[in-house]
Amino acid sequence: NAHKEKTLYMADNAKLTVMNDFHIRYGSNIEIHKDAQLFIHGQKFGYSGANINLTIICWGKIEIGSDVSIGVNVLIRDSSNHFINRQGYKAKRSVIIGDKCWLCESCTIMPGVRLGEGCIVGAKSFVINSFPANSLISGHPAKIVDKNVLWKY
């Protein structure tokens, strides 16, 4: 429903930086917790934004590059919320999404992921590892299915 709200939660000392236009459609939920930073470069040359039901949960640092296109029902998070209790495990790990990436419908980007420029993440993919520029990745967990891919937006 087009009248569904968008929510933005910012805790103490949270920082949201949006450098250029970045469109967010209805049903989206963005949480930036205490001392966390969400940095969005936005539109530089082409379209930059998210379709409906984007969820971003930021406990440390998430950075989204320029000209990134985000599909329906995408989740991006930089923390496991301390649910994993293993010695040496870091619950918060920064997420970096490079310029000109395309995150397709219902994909999940987990803590510590770095996507190089021009990556395409297939629909319903579960991304737990980092990938180099211009990779087409897909699966659960996501793996490279093609290299040197360029997409036109």
Among the listed residues 103, 82, 104, 105, the one whose alpha carbon sits nearest the alpha carbon of residue 92:
82
Percent of the chain with pLDDT over 90: 82
DSSP secondary structure letters along 104-127: -TT-EE-TT-EE-TT-EE-TT-EE
Write the pLDDT tens digit of every residue in 24-60.
999 999 999 999 999 999 999 888 999 999 999 999 9
